[in-house]
A and B are shown apart, each in its own frame.
Chain A
Amino acid sequence: MINFNQVYKRYPNQHEALSGLSFQLERGDMAFLTGHSGAGKSTLLKLIALIERSTHGQVIINNQNLGRMPKWKIPYYRRMIGLVFQDHNLLHDRTVFDNVALPLIIAGENHREIGRRVRAALDKVGLLGKERNLPIALSGGEQQRVGIARAVVNRPPILLADEPTGNLDPELSQEIMQLFEQFNQVGVTVFIASHDHELISRMPYRRIVLQNGKLAD
């Protein structure tokens, strides 16, 4: 599902964020991406989401070679990846409902379908009663769950999360991780960047550890 083959990423300032990275995740895997800050975790996720392109090497996601993907296809490609961010990236002038509905509106779904699926996603993350609220009225944990609902609302086969529990206390973090597990159990490939060692050491999933842009031994 996620296949890195000798991937290099060098930034214009000559900083090499990834050097010769190779690894694979199979369909339906759940894995953590760890490493010290600056090890290349964010860069790796950006390559998968095609926010950046690799300098060398192949990134193949769901049998698509991202190096060959023309620019106009990128939006359609991104629709099969759910993205969860540390700072949620919610739109603060829109209700919870509208935030979660955004990927469906973009995909051109009809009104009825949007309502149905947004409520299903909000139900899943336990926020069904708050669809009319503005994000600002929610707690940090709740905002993150809105972000997750938005990431899964159009049922992408891949879910990427960049430090999703970075700003949350351990208990809330645990809840968020359980949510990810639930999505993984229904077949979604889940890949989570996190430096919360204590939390992920308690969970029985594969860990991909980066060190200076390479896999650590």
Chain B
Amino acid sequence: MNIVERFKNYLLRHVQVMLSSLGELWRHPLASTMTIVVIGIALALPAGLLVMLTNITQISGQWQDSHQISLFLNEEVGDTRGQQLAEQLLSWPDISAVEFQSSNDSLREFRELSGLGSLLDNLPKNPLPAVIIVRAADDFSETENIEDLLERLARMQDIALAQLDMQWLQRLRSLNQTAQRAVQILAALLSVSVLLVIGNTIRLSILNRQAEIRVVKLVGGTNAFVRRPFLYTGFWYGLLGGIIAWLTLQTSLAVINDPIKALASQYDTVFRFDWLAGELFLALPLTGVLLGVLGAWLAVGKHLNAIEPN
């Protein structure tokens, strides 16, 4: 046999083993399905949480860019004075933009957004103050600087209240980071459980085929030859589990799509939820395959030596 032919036979053999190990799963549909679904759920859970967190991060990221301070002016400060104050603030080096909003503007905005306009009609006068919305310059946006700026603004005599709009966002971000860690830990644990599920399934099939493995070794089968069908079994479990995970995820997300849209509209956000469908379609089966082959490898490795006639 020359090299080329040897290689051709080798590849052909791989394809045969690949198909026959799939056939093996097919012959035990109930057991195979249960294993595959368990793997699918274990993969889908962290992936789903990851999708949610990614979206939350993205959305909060959009808001985060602007470190915004709202300055509520004293009641007696008129529109002209307010405008002047705004222009004066714009010349500060740590302020990149200002926007003046008169008390009438505030009223209009409140009417539009709250839907409580008719209630305002009953009030004797406009209760809303004029507002200057200040955006801190980017390089001044670190927390310490922004708090310093906040303090200086609050001390100004025309200003009744200076409020950093983003405090809740920082809390959300910390919360989000914590959640991300938790999801990472969960993903690691569930990966281990996928390894164990596949390892255990392969272990059982090794025990069933112990006589065969012994014979193969006695007639000169290498460890690689013995391992191969089990690795392909792990491969199929992982691949099919990954596909199940993807389908589960897409179905679940489709179900919660409408509530999310409703939620988004309440927050008045241009809020496009990203299912990460494409990325996950690659990542889930790939992760499944990696875990499947690794789990099979570990299980067979342990038993290869046990069966070794030495």
| A interface residues (Cβ-Cβ under 8 A, vs B) | 46, 49, 51-53, 71-72, 75-79, 83, 89-91, 102-103, 105-111, 150
Contact residues in A for B310 (Cβ distance below 8 Å):
51-53, 71
Chain B residue nearest in CB terms to A76? B220
Q: Is the CB of A52 within 8 A of B309?
A: yes
Contact residues in B for A72 (Cβ distance below 8 Å):
222
For the A-B complex with A49-B218, A75-B220 known, give 13 more contacts whose Cβ atoms are closer than 8 Å: A53-B310, A75-B217, A77-B220, A78-B219, A83-B218, A91-B215, A106-B220, A106-B225, A108-B6, A109-B1, A109-B9, A110-B9, A111-B12
Residue from B214, B217, B220, B223 in contact with A107 in the complex, judged by beta carbons closer than 8 Å: B220
B29 to chain A, nearest CB (A): 18
Q: Is the CB of A79 within 8 A of B6?
A: no
Q: Is the CB of A78 within 8 A of B218?
A: yes
Chain B residue nearest in CB terms to A150? B219
Residue from B212, B215, B222 in contact with A75 in the complex, judged by beta carbons closer than 8 Å: B222
Contact A106-B221, Cβ < 8 Å, known A53-B310, A89-B215: yes
- Majority-rule SS of B interface residues: helix
A90 to chain B, nearest CB (A): 8
Contact residues in A for B212 (Cβ distance below 8 Å):
91
Contact residues in A for B8 (Cβ distance below 8 Å):
110
Contact residues in B for A79 (Cβ distance below 8 Å):
219-220
Contact residues in B for A103 (Cβ distance below 8 Å):
219-220
B169 on the interface (CB 8 Å rule)? no
B5 on the interface (CB 8 Å rule)? yes
Chain B residue nearest in CB terms to A105? B13
Contact residues in A for B221 (Cβ distance below 8 Å):
75, 106
B216 on the interface (CB 8 Å rule)? yes
Contact residues in B for A107 (Cβ distance below 8 Å):
220
Tell me the complex Cα distance, A106–B212, Å.
13
Tell me the complex Cα distance, A110–B13, Å.
9
Chain A residue nearest in CB terms to B6? A108
A184 to chain B, nearest CB (A): 20
Q: How many A-B residue pairs have CB under 8 A?
A: 62
Contact residues in B for A150 (Cβ distance below 8 Å):
219
Contact residues in B for A89 (Cβ distance below 8 Å):
211, 214-215, 218
A-B pairs, top 6 by smallest CB distance, nearest first, are A79-B220, A51-B309, A78-B220, A75-B222, A103-B219, A106-B221
Contact residues in B for A102 (Cβ distance below 8 Å):
215-216, 219
B10 on the interface (CB 8 Å rule)? yes
Chain A residue nearest in CB terms to B222? A75
**Most chain A CB inside 10 Å of its own CB: which residue of B217, B219, B310:** B219
Q: Is the CB of A108 within 8 A of B13?
A: yes
B271 to chain A, nearest CB (A): 58
Interface string of B182-222 (1 = CB under 8 A from A): 00000000000000000000000000000110111111111
Contact residues in A for B12 (Cβ distance below 8 Å):
110-111
Tell me the complex Cα distance, A46–B310, Å.
9
Q: Is the CB of B10 within 8 A of A106?
A: no
Q: B residues 208-248 with Cβ under 8 Å of A?
A: 211-212, 214-223, 225
B28 to chain A, nearest CB (A): 13
Tell me the complex Cα distance, A91–B225, Å.
16
Tell me the complex Cα distance, A75–B225, Å.
10
Q: B residues 289-310 with Cβ under 8 Å of A?
A: 309-310
A5 to chain B, nearest CB (A): 21
Tell me the complex Cα distance, A102–B214, Å.
12
